[in-house]
Chain A
């Protein structure tokens, strides 16, 4: 097999590559040489999650639920069908459960055992979601975790923590901020943050007092 352009196994190339960079490039060269991977497929995998699939999908789901009571009912009863109907299908989103924040209950999602996360609606998980700091503490002391994110809940609001231990994936339906009653779904979607759909943010109108 001819040597292709990204053969980086020689350490003496005079490059400033880190040890990890060299090790991973060597592995990619090996797996390509053995005919197991199509390097262009790797680029497409990365491009998809860097540029195409992200939390704007989830924000569209939330805004639709806020705007259409029938859709919200469907979403809470059968999250998979309601989300898949918008085209947000596929890997790590096959079995979707949506949990609704209310004045009584604030929901937070975690995967204490690894990093399970609903890719089709939120993209890849942020670093903090995968960190031992978050995974260990959110389960036993969720309010202190919220404090790290600058979020304080009303005193009487209970916290429900959801551990993604199976292939089910969780999306939080945040509370709709007051003062948005006449907003379009599109405008509402612009308000929805990624963290609010994990449960580490609560939403308000920018500059508003809610």
Chain B
């Protein structure tokens, strides 16, 4: 969706605050939101693409002004509601009013490190061979889905060159809608900054974007 999260090339946000660079969490509640989000994600009630969509699917003005972990909290609340793990009243007052959803897979303390160190690969067995190879010229589709996608607006309708074939990866556009992983070939695509932003940009500046095959055409 074309929303406030798709920030590449937007103007007017001002200088970058480079102070307090070593601090992960500025306030105590931020670390709890971080941990709650990871722990609830581990219950398997949603996938990473659904959680990204929950965070970006809000008023653009809100997205660009809320703090990072305020956005995470809003996202988590939406996911809990959608998965029927909590009711709106429960989230509002913090008390349990409805019985817990049965058979929720709880992340136990003694499993945390295993879970983090194992990670989860997003590469899948391909169902078809890759359509493009290194060095091929491609054009990105001019597409504007109202649902989750990972092709930024600035990269749509542009000509680039395949730099690397990453493999066949879970396709966020499908996975975010609960339509399955629908694995697609993923490519690293090279663009000149001039192709994306115009001729005033330095001739030797480049932009690399990871894009799935359904975003591309010849």
Contact = CB atoms under 8 A, between A and B. Distances in A.
A95 B166 contact: yes
B117 interface: yes
Contacts of A23: 29, 73
A140 B197 contact: yes
A42 B121 CA distance: 23
A140 to B, nearest CB: 4
Contacts of A167: 48, 122, 169-170
Interface string A31-45: 101111110111111
Given A94-B122, A132-B64, A163 B38 contact: no
29 contacts: A18-B27, A26-B93, A28-B32, A30-B95, A38-B39, A40-B109, A41-B107, A45-B38, A46-B34, A48-B113, A97-B188, A127-B23, A131-B13, A131-B68, A132-B7, A132-B64, A134-B16, A135-B8, A136-B7, A136-B8, A136-B9, A139-B154, A145-B16, A158-B206, A160-B208, A163-B155, A166-B169, A167-B170, A168-B166
B104 A36 contact: yes
B145 interface: no
A189 B5 CA distance: 35
A20 B109 contact: no
B130 interface: no
Interface in A99-150: 104-105, 110, 112-115, 120, 123-124, 126-128, 130-137, 139-140, 142, 145, 148-149
Interface in B27-57: 27-29, 31-36, 38-40, 43, 48, 52, 55-56
Given A44-B109, A110-B8, A166-B211, 15 more contacts: A9-B93, A9-B95, A21-B27, A28-B32, A34-B101, A46-B35, A89-B118, A91-B116, A94-B119, A113-B8, A113-B52, A131-B17, A140-B8, A140-B197, A195-B21
A35 B17 contact: no
A133 B28 contact: no
A121 B94 CA distance: 36
A92 interface: yes
A142 B8 CA distance: 11
A195 B16 CA distance: 14
Contact of A160 (B7, B90, B205): B205
Contacts of A131: 13, 16-17, 68
A93 to B, nearest CB: 7
Task: Please classify how large the interface on chain B is, using the bins under 10, 10 to 19, 20 to 34, 35 or more.
Answer: 35 or more
B9 A140 contact: yes
Contact of A166 (B6, B106, B107, B150): B150
A26 B76 CA distance: 14
B18 to A, nearest CB: 6
B119 A133 contact: no
B95 to A, nearest CB: 6
A148 B13 CA distance: 13
Contact of A112 (B122, B152, B206): B152
B56 A113 contact: yes
B17 A113 contact: no
Contact of B8 (A9, A24, A37, A139): A139
Contacts of B170: 167
B104 to A, nearest CB: 5
B26 A165 contact: no
Given A38-B107, A162-B208, A133 B14 contact: yes
B127 interface: no
A149 B15 CA distance: 10
A58 B19 CA distance: 22
Contact of A95 (B22, B94, B123, B154): B123
A165 B151 contact: yes
B195 interface: no
A115 B205 CA distance: 23
A35 B154 contact: no
A27 interface: yes
A56 interface: no
Contact of A114 (B52, B100, B115): B52
